Structure 1
Amino acid sequence: MKVKEYLHQAYRLDKRIQSHIEEMECLKEMATSVSSPRWDEKVQTSRNSEGNFVRCLERIMDLERRINAEIDNLVALKEQIRCVINEVADTDERMVLRYRYVHNLTWEQIGDELNADRTTVYRWHNAAINHVTLPEDPVKV
């Protein structure tokens, strides 16, 4: 695994968690909505007697378990990334990595934080990537 791929894992995992949370909110909305009554006279012998909300609640509980596991994984990964970043000797390079991969700031935001233009931020970032040493057993995402 390359350095950028390793450092960028936290961003992707965070986005995946956000997507699961949005899906869970939709399911909660579906579970609390009332469906309209059916006026047709269909008779089914093997009709499922559970309401739609029961399936939504089961899905919500599964998603909550998955989200909690992914959050635990994200916390461990970010802690490991912070340790890796703290090993970089140059302060500017370390700050660029921290802002980019821990705080998920854009290049422009990093430049504003560090009072530097974009090319300087890119230069610090490229130098920092060359100074990062990957951990022996990285957290699996």
Structure 2
Amino acid sequence: MNAKDYLMQAKFLDMRINSKIQQVEALNDLATSASSVLTGMPRNPNKATSKMADAVAKIVDLQAEINHDIDELVDLKKEISYTIKAVPSPELQTLLEKRYLCFQSWEIIAVDMGYSMHHLYKIHNQALDICDGILKRDT
């Protein structure tokens, strides 16, 4: 795995967590809007539970997955942070942290660091080359 793919893992995991949180919100909306229909017809005792009970069960399962993913994200960010700290230049460390741990856009990083986009991309490539060397050394 190259340095960029390695560093991007945290962003993709964060995106998956946010997606699951949105799913929980949608299921909460479904569960709170569930209503029962009263009819005079007898019900089948073997029929599945209500929409609300199904939604609650799915919510609990998704929340457990989210908690597991958050634990995994914290561990992954710690591991990535150690790799970034092994980069000898504080300038490059800052760039990598802003991009791969804080998930900031290139434009925001360029403004924060006072660099042109061209210069930012140039030093980013340098940082990735150094990270590639660190990852190869550690594996």
Quick one: percent identity of the two aligned structures?
32
Q: Which runs of 5+ in 1 are unaligned?
A: none
Residue 8 (structure 1) aligned with residue 8 (structure 2): yes
Which residue is equivalent to 1:124? 123
**Over aligned residues, Cα RMSD in angstroms?**
1.9
Q: What is the 5 A alignment of 1:82-101?
A: 82-101=81-100
Q: Following the alignment from structure 1 to structure 2, what is the Cα–Cα distance between the partners of residues 72 and 12?
A: 14
Q: Which amino acid aligns with 1:28?
A: N
More helix by share: 2
| TM-score normalised by L of structure 2 | 0.89
* Alignment: residue pair count: 136
Q: Which amino acid aligns with 1:134?
A: L
Q: What is the 5 A alignment of 1:15-94?
A: 15-35=15-35, 37=37, 39=39, 41=41, 44=44, 46-48=46-48, 50-94=49-93
Q: Say if 1:40 and 1:9 are closer, same or farther in 2 by CA, change over 3 A.
A: farther
**SS at 1:134 equivalent:** helix
Q: Say if 1:43 and 1:55 are closer, same or farther in 2 by CA, change over 3 A.
A: closer
| TM-score normalised by L of structure 1 | 0.88
Q: Which runs of 5+ in 2 are unaligned?
A: none
Deviations 1:47-103 (A, max 9, x none): 33x211101111001001100000000000001111100111112211111110001
1:46 CA displacement = 3.4
Q: Following the alignment from structure 2 to structure 1, what is the Cα–Cα distance between the partners of residues 5 and 38?
A: 52
Deviations 1:11-38 (A, max 9, x none): 0000000000000011011111132526
Which residue is equivalent to 2:135? 134
Q: Following the alignment from structure 1 to structure 2, what is the Cα–Cα distance between the partners of residues 34 and 46?
A: 20
Stretch moving more, 28-37 or 90-99:
28-37
